[in-house]
Amino acid sequence: MQLEEVVRDFKTKKKPIGSFIFLGSTGVGKTELAKALSAFLFNDEQAMTRIDMSEFQEKHAVSRLLGAPPGYVGYDEGGQLTEAVRRQPYSVVLLDEIEKAHPDVFNILLQVLDDGRLTDNKGRTVNFNNTIIIMTSNLGANHINELYYNEEKEVSSQQIKELVMNELKNNFRPEFLNRIDETIVFNPLEKSAIHKIVKMQLDQLNLLLDEKGIKLDITDYAIEYLAQKGFEPQYGARPIKRLVQKEILNGLSKELLKGTIQKGDNVLIDSFDENIVFRTNEKKNNIKKIWKFKLVLILFASNILLYSCNEDQPNDCQQIDELMMKQQHSWNNGNIEEFMSFYWNNDSLMFIGKKRHSIWLANYP
């Protein structure tokens, strides 16, 4: 069953929209995909309830999902699972590391997956019909890491998936697995994916630095350096995030404190001698200054053209008006480069400008 089919079947049955098990090594994007689904389906990345199932390894902890019984501490707070869905019925429910949960947890999940509802500690029925249930697990990760990078023995993705599915069947009851819509096995990350992750991390840094007016660019050498240094197949993408924090964010903070990087700078992140270095992108900064200077000249020239236009040359005036209207349209739409290049490349306007400028200077008292 494809995800599109699950979502399209939005409501003919009283059960969650879809239920999935994501299997794979740590750091391959299982949780990130759940976040992306919540953003895509519910227009909000925060429309997701994440529960770490390692907190429910003991039998006495299971009651926290539905809420503590009357007379016990936490009764008024409601259940961790039921209260979250009651407050946010249209959401993704992420049950992280489901294999670590106590067996009694699966008795609760059977009711959710089958009937789409639970009764909390206060007797209220909580509806799961508009949720997507995603469970993540590292079961079978040893098979994935051992065989995927084995150059001596060629193994297909289908063979790896069969080994992982056998591991899943050995750990979960058949009646539980039979209620899951789809089980998805994540392959380990390729080097090309690591490069994209580095760029994504940089995009997030740019959002943080936007209020300071600082723009970051990165060279291919720096991307390759970070990808090679941070890529560890058994740990996935998580080392990349830590490396970006250490090499870029911490290094950038030091440069800001020293004053070598200031507000409004374009900073180029490069790699030199096995280190990350920061260079102020002088070319871009100078271009910004040149454009600002050109803008002043353009506005000055515009005033001259408008001032010098008179009824003696109506054709020229009409041509100027038409050109000025095009210029105004470019400016209003934020096409600054089009706005500026329009003046420097428009022969008609430059000719009229020179003629009008000469007339204006000749008649100037």
**pLDDT digits 0-9 by tens, 39-95:** 999 988 889 999 999 999 999 899 999 988 887 777 888 899 999 999 999 999 999
Percent of the chain with pLDDT over 70: 71
Q: How far is CA 228 from CA 125, 161, 188, 232, in A?
A: 51, 27, 15, 9
Calculate Rg over the CA atoms of the chain.
31
Q: Which of 85-94, 199-208, 223-232, 286-295 has the highest mean pLDDT?
A: 85-94
- What CATH topology corresponds to 3-185? Rossmann fold (3.40.50)
Question: Please, which residues have CB within 8 angstroms of residue 245's CB and are 6 or more apart in sequence?
Answer: none
pLDDT digits (tens, 9 = 90+) for 133-144: 999 999 988 878
Range 191-280 classified under CATH 3.30.420.40? no
Give me the residue spans of the domains in the chain: 3-185, 191-280, 284-362
pLDDT level of residue 351 (50, 70, 90 thresholds): very low
